């Protein structure tokens, strides 16, 4: 039986970045208030990911989270289903903060965005080749959580990693290392208007079958 410590270890993420938007109240439970915060996290390519974080006022004074403030977050990637305006279920993915710390500088930090999962493939991998010849494979993984719950996390693999997982079966257990990223895309709404939406996923840097580990 998997214990609580193991469940914390199978889903870990570390990010550092700047507060990009004023915190917005989300909900309160047992006197603990939770807020949605958007954090700008820089990639090595200098591109910026806009990362959504759910953070408790028991972790940090929300009044300190001003625009531009540098914050370090340790937590887990979480997901839940939410109904959109057309009453369709939509997978919402964000980061649940377990630790939060305000920093004075980014000096000395080598990796601003680092995630790890011990998970299971829960949907048949979708392998494709782009018009530019890039090999891509989309994965949807399930990560066990306490109280018999699971988080469903979209992942994207490139090149060699994409070929490696192309024919994997649903239920395959994987260890995955990567980064949490945001991606904008266009979609038509129910009235035919094109709207800009944001998808959140894990860009896979390394993966392996768990049973291969000795």
Is the per-residue pLDDT at 1 higher than 90? no
Between CA 209 and CA 193 the distance in angstroms is 43
Domain definitions of the chain by residue range: 4-110, 115-212
Please report which confidence band the pLDDT of residue 5 belongs to, taking 50, 70 and 90 as the band edges: low
pLDDT at 35 over 90: yes
Write down the pTM of the prediction: 0.89
CATH topology of domain 4-110: OB fold (Dihydrolipoamide Acetyltransferase, E2P) (2.40.50)
Intrachain domains 4-110 and 115-212 with the same fold = yes
∠ Cα 40 14 106 (to 5°): 55
Q: Does the pLDDT at position 55 exceed 70?
A: yes
What mean pLDDT is reported for the chain? 91
Q: Which CATH class is domain 115-212?
A: mainly beta
Which contacts qualify for 61-69: CB closer than 8 Å, 24 or more apart? Answer: 62/23, 62/33, 62/35, 64/102, 65/19, 65/22, 65/23, 65/35, 65/37, 66/19, 67/18, 67/19, 67/20, 67/21, 67/22, 68/18, 68/19, 69/18, 69/19, 69/102
Q: What is the pLDDT of residue 191?
A: 81
pLDDT band at 195 (very low <50, low <70, confident <90, very high): confident
Q: Tell me what pLDDT residue 184 has.
A: 85
pLDDT, tens digit (0-9, with 9 covering 90-100), for 100-151:
999 999 998 989 999 999 999 999 999 999 988 999 999 999 999 988 899 9
| pLDDT value for 113 | 97
């Amino acid at each position: 039986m998997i214990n609580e410590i193991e469940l914390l270890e199978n889903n870990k993420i570390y990010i550092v970045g700047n507060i990009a938007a004023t915190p917005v109240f989300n909900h309160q439970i047992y006197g603990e208030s939770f807020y949605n915060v958007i954090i700008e996290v820089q990639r090595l390519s200098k591109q910026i990911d806009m990362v959504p974080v759910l953070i408790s006022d028991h972790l940090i004074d929300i009044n300190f989270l001003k625009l531009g403030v540098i914050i370090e977050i340790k937590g887990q990637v979480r997901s839940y289903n939410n109904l959109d305006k057309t009453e369709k279920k939509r997978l919402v993915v964000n980061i649940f903060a377990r630790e939060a710390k305000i920093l004075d500088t980014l000096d000395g930090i080598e990796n601003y965005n680092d995630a790890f999962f011990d998970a299971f493939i829960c949907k048949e991998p979708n392998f494709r080749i782009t018009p530019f010849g890039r090999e891509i494979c989309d994965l949807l993984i399930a990560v066990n959580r306490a109280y018999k719950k699971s988080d469903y996390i979209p992942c994207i693999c490139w090149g060699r990693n994409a070929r490696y997982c192309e024919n994997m079966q649903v239920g395959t257990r994987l260890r995955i290392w990567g980064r949490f990223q945001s991606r904008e895309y266009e979609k038509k709404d129910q009235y035919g208007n094109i709207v800009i939406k944001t998808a959140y996923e894990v860009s896979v840097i390394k993966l392996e079958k768990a049973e291969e580990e000795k």
